[in-house]
Amino acid sequence: MLDEYDVIAGRALSGGPSAEPGDFAAPGGVFLVGYCNRVPVCGGGVKAVGHGAAEIKRMYFVPEFRGRGVAPALIDALERTARELGHELMRLDSTWATWPIYEAAGYRVIPDYNDNPHADVWGENPL
């Protein structure tokens, strides 16, 4: 998965803000996996970042399911779950290559909030 991130970004994406298993733990975090016919096809996490905000982390789609409407469904599930966890705002960092997915989901560009050296753009969406 991380090798694919590097290819999409056009550069190595090691380092940056944390996205470790503990970041997706209760009470403020979660990691969701989407299935089709009992086969995992996508995943993504919600990480609490404080002050009522959460962050989408580590979204991934199996290549055969890209472009099939899975991204909006996963973003919706992540946002719905974040609301259930008490978050009021969802943030994310992205590369320009993947930004259109988030823009289509209503995210607007904001200033850099996490100093991720691999991100090209930062966004947020009220929950």
What pLDDT digit, counting tens, does each position of 90-101 carry?
999 998 989 999
Please count the structural domains in the chain.
1
Q: What is the CATH number of the domain that holds 88?
A: 3.40.630.30
Q: What is the mean pLDDT of residues 55-61?
A: 92
Q: Does residue 31 fall inside a structural domain?
A: yes
Coil/strand/helix, residue 75: helix
The predicted-structure confidence for 29-51, as pLDDT tens digits, reads as follows: 999 999 999 999 999 999 999 99
Return the structure tokens found at 19: 């996205």
Coil/strand/helix, residue 94: strand
Per 3-state DSSP, what percentage of the chain is helix, strand, and coil (rounded to 5)? 30, 35, 40
Q: Does residue 1 fall inside a structural domain?
A: no
Q: Which long-range contacts (CB under 8 A, 24 or more apart) does 22-25 make?
A: 23/47, 23/57, 24/57
Q: Does residue 44 fall inside a structural domain?
A: yes
Query: What is the pTM (predicted TM-score) of this model?
Result: 0.85
Name the residue range of residue 66's domain.
16-126
